[in-house]
Amino acid sequence: MSSRLLLIPLDDVVAFPGMSLTLAVDAGEEERVLLVPRHEHDFASVGTVAQVSDKVRLPGGARAVALQGLHRGVAGAAHTMPDGRLYVEVDERPDPVPVDGRTRNLEREYRAVVEEVLELRGDDGRISSFLRSITEPGALADTSGYSPDLGYEDKVQLLLTLDVTERLELALRFQRERLAELQVRKRIRDDVESGAEKQQREYFLRKQMESIRKELGEDDASIVEEYRTKIEEAGMPEAVREQAEKELGRLERMGEQTAESSVIRTYLDWLIAVPWDARSEERLDPRHAREVLDADHAGLEDVKDRIVEYIGVKKLRLDRGITEDKRSGAILTLIGPPGTGKTSIGESIARATGREFVRMSLGGVRDEAEIRGHRRTYIGALPGRLVRALRDAGTMNPVIMLDEVDKVGADWRGDPSSALLEVLDPAQNHSFRDHYLDVELDLSNVMFIATANVADTIP
């Protein structure tokens, strides 16, 4: 059906069949008009034929009309009147009533998706009732254009789709996109609410735990005081003690129940575990050392002579009042095949000199952090093997045996032999710095004994 209708352009709204709207325009004596949205800087080729249901005069003299959308119309030839009004030839396109099975299937799927959307949006039932009252598939698809969530261009695209089946497919795609967006928002909201509930629950549990700890006399203040007492009794050097008190202050400010507090407590435990002022009383008696070595080992005369010579030189320097500089020292290296008694000789040296003995196996070590420790920024960081050896020995002057030093390797994680250089070099080991503790350790009083099977492969 063709007709000639007044064209009313729409700039920011798209009118659909079945929609009621009021526009501040003068429709004259027209009973029907064509509402056409602007599209890509021009008029869309399809508009909505609307019935003028009422005409009113606004305050100030302007006119307005109440309109009711009827059906689509394809705009044809245009005619401009002397008064400036634009009339167009319109091919009116009401939706066909008998529809095929595919269209009905799309209609059912569309209704199901829209019901899910309304449920997620918290509809009170009025919109659902309105949708159930619509029986025609074309009119049902047009309801997507009523949604404020649909963009202007998408609404124009929906209006331009004349085929009912294609229009339902397009409307169904729009609603599925909206449903997916709402489902994501719901998941995010649920996660946030769940996290808030978890935090609130943890807060109450911490408060209960705090009350219980206070009843037992184990509140944060008592823990901090306990650490402060241990730090004072540890005999730390001044710089180390300042670092420990700094960390203790952080623990006191943030409280016991925070995640960072466990990291600080572990760090303080390691600082306190180092035997800063503990020393074994060294026995420098060459004759006693020879007796111990002869009792523990048969043969190996050259090795025994060298060890006795080492102890004798230290005793002679002590008797003459020559103080040992922190930058002076010597390292014994025992080289021989497996099973020749290298480790047991180290134990005998410790027994002969009255020192504690700790063995460090370096075979296969390829990570520099095994020697220097991991930095505290890493989760699960710990000190290196040297700090652990001092803790196990309980003194700052033990005999530490570096077993299988010829089997130390290097890869992308670093070169452990470079770290060992700082450990063994008398010019450097008085100020060794472990990455985890990040304070200076004096290793100059440690007697290092290295063992190897072959001299050629020692780094």
pLDDT in tens, 237-277: 899 899 989 988 888 877 666 778 888 888 999 999 999 88
CATH topology for 286-452 is Rossmann fold (3.40.50)
Residues 6+ apart with CB under 8 A from 336: 342, 453
Q: What is the pTM of this model?
A: 0.51
Structure tokens at 353: 């000199």
Q: How far is it, in rounded angstroms, from Cα 383 to Cα 390?
A: 11
Query: What's the chain's average pLDDT?
Result: 84
| Separation of alpha carbons 266 and 391, rounded Å | 14
Per-residue pLDDT, averaged over 343-370, amounts to: 85
**CATH number of the structural domain 101-186:** 1.20.58.1480
Quote the pLDDT of residue 358.
92
126 to 118, 243, 355, 382: CA distances (angstroms)? 10, 68, 89, 64
Given CATH 2.30.130.40, say whether it is the number of domain 2-93.
yes
> Are the beta carbons of 349 and 447 closer than 8 angstroms?
yes
How many angstroms separate the CA atoms of 287 and 213, rounded? Answer: 58
Is-contact 419 371, C-beta < 8 A?
yes
**Residue 49 banded pLDDT, cuts 50, 70, 90:** very high
pLDDT at 391: 92
Residue 333 has pLDDT above 80, yes or no: yes
Q: What is the mean pLDDT of residues 424-435?
A: 83
Contact (Cβ atoms closer than 8 angstroms) between residue 145 and residue 159: yes
Mean pLDDT, rounded, for 365-374: 82
C-alpha span between 360 and 9 (Å, rounded): 88
**CA atoms in the 13 A half-sphere facing the CB of 214:** 6
Q: What is the pLDDT of residue 35?
A: 92
**Phi, psi angles (nearest 5°) of residue 214:** -65, -40
- What is the CA angle 222-228-231, rounded to 5? 145
> Which alpha helices (DSSP H) does 23-163 contain, by range?
101-121, 126-133, 137-142, 152-160
Distance CA 3, CA 93 (A): 11
Give the H or E element holding residue 422.
helix 416-424
pLDDT of amino acid 122: 79
Q: What is the pLDDT confidence band of residue 133, given thresholds at 50, 70 and 90?
A: confident
Q: Grade residue 57 by pLDDT with cuts at 50, 70 and 90.
A: confident
> Does the pLDDT at position 217 exceed 70?
no
Does residue 317 register a pLDDT over 70? Answer: yes
- Neighbouring residues of 76: CB distance < 8 A, sequence distance ≥ 6: 2, 88, 89, 90, 91
What phi, psi does 458 have (nearest 5°)?
-70, 130
Contact 292, 351 (CB under 8 A): yes
Q: Residue 218: is its pLDDT beyond 60?
A: no
Is the pLDDT at 441 greater than 60? The verdict is: yes
Q: Compute the distance between CA of residue 427 and CA of residue 326 in angstroms, rounded to an integer.
A: 7
CA angle 361, 364, 367 (to 5 degrees): 95
289 Cβ contact partners less than 8 Å away, ≥ 6 residues apart = 307, 308, 311, 349, 352, 353
